[in-house]
Structure 1
């Protein structure tokens, strides 16, 4: 039974990580038109040690994308310099949509694994009651 509980712990850590990833992707999409906004990315790290969550994933530090900010020409914009340019964001909507879809699929896979382990432990308890 402990293997089933460990499976549920591992899959729940995966769901939490992917939910956090989706939150950052949605922040990036919401701020794609914000001048000077840099895309946020997160990394995942394996949980080490002998705890119940060992082997699961946890969220690493939030990183800002260091790619060049887009230069936008709009002399009427309040942030425009003397040449009429201002710095836009470095968010690419296609990349963000692809990341959101990948995070969603990974979340769903972890959810299915969690549900399968839950059903198996429930079936085991039913067998033990007889």
Structure 2
């Protein structure tokens, strides 16, 4: 039965990690128009505390690509030449990341459900 527990733990760790990733993606989308905002990046690492194969999210990193210069002399953050730092969030990239996180979450959910069904079927067979 420990194989079932391991599979459930691995699938659950994947779902937790994708939830964190989706949270950062939603923060990026919400701040796409915030001047000076840098996109948050999420990475995955092996979870050494748990079952081998489980993952966790690594430290949040900020995208260090250059911030675009936006020309708007009437903006309160504009310098003497009329430019201010925009955000380096690309909505197309963020939407693609959100879809990928959603699909990965759903795949882990299917694994979780499949293991649960297999465990239930095994218990039914053992009761006979």
Q: TM-score interval w.r.t. the shorter chain?
A: over 0.9
Structure 1: gaps spanning 5 or more residues: none
Tell me what 1:127 maps to: 125
Match 2:99 to one of 91, 95, 101 = 101
d(CA) in 1 for partners of 2:7, 2:39: 33
Which residue in the other structure is 1:30 paired with?
A: 30
Tell me which residue corresponds to 2:59: 61
Q: What is the TM-score normalised by the length of structure 2?
A: 0.96
Deviations 1:29-69 (A, max 9, x none): 000000000000011001236x4x22200110000000000
Superposed structure 1 runs of 4+ greater than 3 Å apart: none
Q: 1:89 — aligned with what?
A: 87
How large is the Cα RMSD of the aligned pairs?
1.0
So what's the TM-score if we normalise by structure 1? 0.95
SS at match of 1:54: coil
Per-residue CA distance 1:44-103 (angstroms, 9 max, x = gap): 001236x4x222001100000000001100011000000000001000000001111111
1:117 aligned residue: 115
